[in-house]
Structure 1
């Protein structure tokens, strides 16, 4: 009797193990799926991130008017905080969101904007070392710079592309748990995609440069990071890689293909970071080009953009990044402890070359 009970128990246990194993194998089977050519996924919603892009675009348009208008600090503050209906696009005013609450180190970037406002009060005074005002880039184009030569409208714009849009996308993608519901994963994924600022039918092969990249034609045309996929990303195929990864990852979530989803996350994070580095590298080299030497307007404009993109690298996913803290700190110290006049006036551009070398070597950037 005891022997019969033992055999019966073993059969029951075997059956349970077999059932559990079959159930697990069944759950692990990933059905065939396709990756669509566009981001027109059912239920896709990235309105909040898209609206912040639109807010940044309007703020940028106003900041760029500093060459002809003495900026109003209350207006830039309202645009940063979405108070007192500051946007021409009325839907943004009632959207319930703002730039300030998603901008990491918000006070620092608001400080850059405030410096631009202050500097714009002398937009009719020629700038010199120690004195803010305007500098000519060409016979018809000028910029507004601070006493240190930096164009704080560009520092703010490119820096917030990092501290807001890049940082938010990196954090969102890093924080999506594999065991979350499909709906929750899709919600987070869509929000991250919105910060890339490209149309749902984006194509890396299409020429979007027929209109200004930052014109208020978004989302029909790329803007901000979406514009930089072409402007500074073609030689590293950034547009193709990021666009494919966002579509592939979103499709994988629906069928619980976590392996493909996680690879897409890594691809997005790494190439987006490389895009920022590639932009900084390009802008480090422009002031050194013989045709630009002595043209402070062109040199300082490029340095200011480089400043913003180097600051973007502060918000990289360090666990995956090739950039060490030591090298980042070296670049940051150079760009922030030296004024623009000093950097472009140095014999042989030693400090600019040092930054360029770190970027090129770390990220294996093309010439």
Structure 2
């Protein structure tokens, strides 16, 4: 025992000597002071007005396109909403903001094309749709305006823009956050904090968001767009809790210059947000195959139209996405199939394949 202790002691001495000899070559790691993570997004100087205003702009655009079911709409008006020209918004602060949807939306020409299609469909809102002819589909009190292939172009815009603008912007901003300046303070925040805040704004939730609360349209301040889908399609994967808490923790970590934690929260947000996209897409490619939906064209086409939009969101997924390009192309091909063909296919083969891809890739039920 004595010899063993001496041997160990000698090793300790040698180790200490070695450490002392190279200490001068070491860089002392930065010490991160303890910091608190709040329960609300009320950080000093936080400002995400621009991103939250674009969320409100998209809602008004979507509302206008939806009126095509009962009124004739115009491409001029739709493009006014898209480009913020001619004061189209009922919220005057949006008209005066100097912001527009067009300059932040990827594949903008695709969306202006959707506007044109919805305008053309609005001229046929008194005609009953058939395969190859645009018009309305109806069952009971449920009525939807669809294209010649069954697609609701207002849903293609609404859900597609959730990907091409809000999801895409949040992912890209978070990718570049680590390179932003976190030393110089302007208007109470650093560039890194300001970028983080902007990404948070695209989530569309209140500063005191509660993932366990059931929000209604009666709530003046409520989750919007992606914020609404945190509960509507993300409840089972705890998307609201995970993403909101990661935004809180990441913002607090930036203030403390705890960049390891910042990086961790970026990974959490991006992965969970993408899984939310998948959960929404899965719901909408499943609804048309449910027995209760069979022969209910308004329900089937509405779900497929939302699914069409959510699948396009994957085009803007993070570079480390679990979804392979091959499977993305399969999903896209399925959703670009004539909806009359999809719902009449034996065993819903293409939709079942899409369900399987989404379930296995993202661990969904």
Q: CA deviation at 1:203?
A: 0.7
> For residue 5 of structure 2, what is the aligned residue in structure 1?
none
Inter-partner Cα distance in structure 2 for 1:313 and 1:74: 29
Q: Is the 8 A contact 2:104 2:169 kept in 1?
A: yes
> For residue 339 of structure 1, what is the aligned residue in structure 2?
338
Q: Deviations over 1:185-229 (max 9, x none)?
A: 101000000000000000101111x328xxxx66x1001000000
> For residue 202 of structure 1, what is the aligned residue in structure 2?
209
Q: CA deviation at 1:119?
A: 0.4
Q: Is the 8 A contact 2:180 2:191 kept in 1?
A: no
Instruction: Tell me how large the CA RMSD over aligned residues is.
Output: 1.8
> For residue 357 of structure 2, what is the aligned residue in structure 1?
358
Q: CA deviation at 1:179?
A: 6.3
Structure 1 segments of 4+ aligned residues over 4 angstroms from their partners: 17-21
Q: Deviations over 1:129-186 (max 9, x none)?
A: 11001112x4223111000110111111000000000000000000113562251110
Give the SS at the match of 2:257: coil
Q: CA deviation at 1:20?
A: 7.8
Inter-partner Cα distance in structure 1 for 2:111 and 2:363: 30
> For residue 51 of structure 1, what is the aligned residue in structure 2?
53
Inter-partner Cα distance in structure 2 for 1:153 and 1:266: 32
Q: Tell which deviates more after alignment, 264-273 or 141-150.
A: 141-150
What pairs up with 1:127-276 in 2 under 5 angstroms? 127-136=129-138, 138-178=139-179, 180-182=181-183, 183-208=190-215, 210-211=216-217, 220-276=221-277
Q: CA deviation at 1:301?
A: 0.3
> For residue 72 of structure 1, what is the aligned residue in structure 2?
74
Q: Is the 8 A contact 1:178 1:258 kept in 2?
A: no
2:322 equivalent to 1:316: no
Q: Is the 8 A contact 2:196 2:251 kept in 1?
A: yes
Give the SS at the match of 2:137: strand
Give the SS at the match of 1:126: coil
Q: Tell which deviates more after alignment, 55-64 or 226-235.
A: 55-64
| Count of residue correspondences | 341
Give the SS at the match of 1:134: strand
Structure 1: unaligned runs, 5 residues or longer? 1-13
Give the SS at the match of 1:142: strand
Give the SS at the match of 2:178: coil
Inter-partner Cα distance in structure 2 for 1:141 and 1:348: 25
Give the SS at the match of 1:190: helix
Inter-partner Cα distance in structure 1 for 2:93 and 2:233: 31
Q: CA deviation at 1:65?
A: 1.4
Q: Is the 8 A contact 1:198 1:226 kept in 2?
A: yes
Q: Is the 8 A contact 1:127 1:133 kept in 2?
A: yes
Inter-partner Cα distance in structure 1 for 2:261 and 2:149: 47
Give the SS at the match of 1:28: coil
Inter-partner Cα distance in structure 2 for 1:303 and 1:43: 42
Q: CA deviation at 1:18?
A: 5.8
Give the SS at the match of 2:293: coil
Give the SS at the match of 1:278: helix
Instruction: Give the TM-score, by structure 2 length.
Output: 0.90
Inter-partner Cα distance in structure 2 for 1:61 and 1:147: 22
